[in-house]
Amino acid sequence: MNATDLKYFKSYLLEQKSNILNKSTEFRSEQLSAKQGLIDEAEVASLDNSLSLSIQLHERDRSVLYQIEKALSKLEEGSYGQCESCGDTIGVSRLKARPFASLCIQCKEEQEDPRNYLN
């Protein structure tokens, strides 16, 4: 992987991190403002359903944020794009599809292979 690729991935990961952190701030603000002014039970039930979905999405974002932080650390150490399982280089095309991938395609397929769960 060349310096241009590394610069691209760093920029992309930082942008994604910023987007998630901004959504997190908006989520907190929405929670506070949504609870004010509710009158009937239908509004409260609707808000509860909406908040439940928002919490699930927020948890997913937190998981992605962790993976982004891990990828940024690898960029700083110089090990970004290296498979954590076999040590081979993760292809640039895979990293473009999933910039915080920690496994090469072969190792990921082995990890997800249902036959590996039978033993």
Tell me, what CATH number does 33's domain have?
1.20.120.910
Give the other-Cβ count within 10 Å of 103's Cβ.
19
Residue 70 vs residue 21, higher pLDDT: 70
Burial class (CB in 10 A: 0-12, 13-18, 19+), 1: middle
Number of domains in the chain: 1
pTM reported for the whole predicted model: 0.72
Expressed as residue numbers, the domain containing 77 is: 3-117
pLDDT, position 45: 67
Question: What are the helix and strand counts (H, E) for the chain?
Answer: 4, 0
Q: Assign 5 to helix, strand or coil.
A: helix
pLDDT, position 21: 84
Confidence band for 110, pLDDT divided at 50, 70 and 90: very high
List, for residues 39-93, the tens digit of each pLDDT value.
Answer: 666 666 666 666 676 677 778 888 899 999 999 999 999 999 999 999 999 999 9
